[in-house]
A and B are shown apart, each in its own frame.
Chain A
């Protein structure tokens, strides 16, 4: 029996609790009275995944079965989420590959010859061949990659973009020309958290900067409350308007999947357990892992973490019309991640792990660390934030001054040039965004190398806009002071120091909430 998530009140019997801090693990003793939110335990996966996929394709919601949409001579495009989902990367075979195999089998049976597969990267970096092979599987990769029928989306390839039109709110919808001109677009996604999927898939994953800038901006982001609740997210409202316009022009067959909470592979199973239930072996593993990681050379430590492959189980596969599919997927995601929490606290604490969506096989630079904390973790709520307006957010992460020149070249300049002038999202957007978005060097690296688009660091900064607007103070524990200062934050050596620093705004006996994540938990704050 899988136990639901729950809220623990720390007392003198509570052992030190696990806290992620980048590429290290800590045990932290929290003050008595601290609320600790534990995610629900992993739900069991479906019994027969192949049969579940087949059933979803045969019995979609709000749509005819896939086989009825396929016909000889048609133009079929299959788009799928890139390797930024799920986190950590899924142990092969990847669920997307398994679904794509079945879609291709049906297409072949229907005599469909014109098939192309597009990695829906939007402005993310191009996936490498090996990364794509990991997602789609060896057979699909070998069949399509050499023929250039399997490729990364290129948002700067003007000749291969199609402007669909404007939404009622005047938003440009511009996506992949191949997808726009297809008789059918099949979109295969992974819903790791509630913000994924729905109209966010095709309308964002296959879109250009011209289209994305309408919702990836400081104004929209600050009014998205939260990203995990699409009905209260301005970002999602915009994506929904775009998606509905798109659906009027293009037949879309959406296939969404939900995963359980098996975030860590078996040998790291203690990371998903509750500390007072750790066996002696778990305790030894924690001790050995934390000491061993701290003693490792940085490169080896990163490799250890980045090579982690998670043994997720699929909890649901739903196919059909985008919105109908997404509602069912959300229900599955909520079943796995939702935890009821009573009210807000003065202080919210996160331990940020080594991985976010944008540093798969790469470095978590300071901007990505900020985005993970203030953009993603902060928004893991439904209703209202876990921390009160003007409250304090305390984050654990070393925030080293470290960047990948390969993956994040514009981040380097963003950190050195833009943040040196302002940390206000709106100011940054007005003064610098266009120059970075149209910079020919960044564009060149995005198109030909494996660099995120020049504008991407701006989007990461905007992700934090709602949190920056809501919070009174942000304090990083164990962080590099230079990097946190540049980003407009403070840093402390210990939790006690951080609480002392925060006492000016939240008092000496603040209410504290610690979100014990990963695995993921969405706080349903009443």
Chain B
């Protein structure tokens, strides 16, 4: 399905105005596409610190196009997204804040969006049985050996597909996930391609606004498992955005943690964290001090730099993307720090060495994590809580507004912002109706 230079995948129909793309041919679908542009990338990266909204909406190398989907190969199926979330890693990518490490793991141009609930347009076989066209599905976005048509690597063989070594191999262009690969399309479009191994049927009773959170919830399940929390341990979750809240939910359901603290920045996030069952909600202003008070640790202040603790929580899950440095400073000696969000800042690793911490990565989610996430989200209590996470949906043509809102979601009290890709978008929450499809 690799696209050839002589066969441009899309025709640009407007990158600035709100005009809806008008496919010149029936098989083209609207999509927001990230393309290679060094000046725009640099501009977005420069602006992202102080003016992230401008960086995402005006400077980022994004454009709304009418894109011709790639042909569907055996084992693959077309998916028409209903909702597609805007993830923190998406925002880091479009604002140029993610690491260059990823540059060789993606192929341009690609359509972002890997948190997807949509309708299956073709019958397809999956490891969990055959799914027929019309089934509502969610996507495990990692493009593993199975999807790429190559023999299973060590990760895939050991049932740990998130550790797949073949994300640049096989018959697909490089791309660690759907949403970063030029061949598959992504969730921010009218249609994408998914391999059978990636697809999970959504329970009928589960509303779309919950189903669109299954992918990040599966990631949270994965992170909670990677945390290997022991009975009686005190756990800190840094960040109370969507990932932080879902991680809290997963930790409560899956681990024997004695107490889960959540560091939240904004008032609504604090309220949500309490509702999601945080043992304590700490402000992020003086997180070291707040953790110190709770754990009765010793606090030291170096001559330069931030204070740190001797003592602290047993396990910290960093779900903000920019607080790894703090996480290392508030975790007790011998404790574990789980990096759940895409890191966008470089920490001082001295405490990692001095405190003999274990730094654990938690990337994406495997099939088993998805199964657990679906079970978890099907619970009445959890389902009710998850309904509150999706803050607003936007049609694709208002992608600038959607990104602007997503960048300010925490401050504005919206957990997750998503694109509504079908004509009858989901109304996630009556309280937020006014923000649907418009700038809040």
Q: Which residues of A contact B (CB under 8 A)?
A: 405, 412-413, 416-417, 435, 439-441, 444
Contact = CB atoms under 8 A, between A and B. Distances in A.
A405 B300 CA distance: 11
Nearest to A432: B293
B301 interface: yes
B293 A413 contact: yes
The 6 closest A-B pairs by CB, nearest first: A441-B298, A413-B293, A439-B296, A441-B299, A440-B296, A417-B293
Majority DSSP secondary structure for residues of B touching A: mixed
Contacts of B299: 441
Nearest to A439: B296
Interface of B: 283, 285-286, 289-290, 292-293, 296-299, 301
A37 B257 CA distance: 62
Contacts of A413: 289, 293
Contacts of B292: 441
Contacts of A416: 283, 285-286, 289-290
Contacts of B297: 441
Where chain A touches its partner, the secondary structure class is helix
A439 B293 CA distance: 8
Given A412-B286, A416-B285, 5 more contacts: A435-B296, A439-B293, A440-B298, A441-B292, A441-B298
Contacts of B289: 412-413, 416
B290 A441 contact: no
A412 B286 CA distance: 10
Contacts of A439: 293, 296
Contacts of B293: 413, 417, 435, 439
A405 B299 CA distance: 12
Nearest to A413: B293
Contacts of A405: 301
A417 B290 contact: yes
A405 B307 CA distance: 12
A435 B297 CA distance: 12
A413 B307 CA distance: 15
Nearest to A440: B296
Contacts of A444: 298
A412 B289 CA distance: 9
Nearest to B292: A441
Nearest to B307: A405
B217 to A, nearest CB: 32
A439 B295 CA distance: 10
The winner among A412, A416, A444 for most chain B CB atoms within 10 A is A416
A23 B160 CA distance: 65
A444 B298 CA distance: 8
Contacts of B285: 416
Nearest to A409: B299
13 contacts: A405-B301, A412-B286, A413-B289, A416-B283, A416-B285, A416-B286, A416-B290, A435-B293, A435-B296, A439-B296, A440-B298, A441-B292, A441-B297
Contacts of B286: 412, 416
A397 B355 CA distance: 45
A415 to B, nearest CB: 11
Central interface residue in A435, A439, A440, A441, by most chain B CB within 10 Å: A441
A416 B294 CA distance: 13
A441 B296 contact: yes
Nearest to A418: B293
A11 B267 CA distance: 51
Contacts of A440: 296, 298
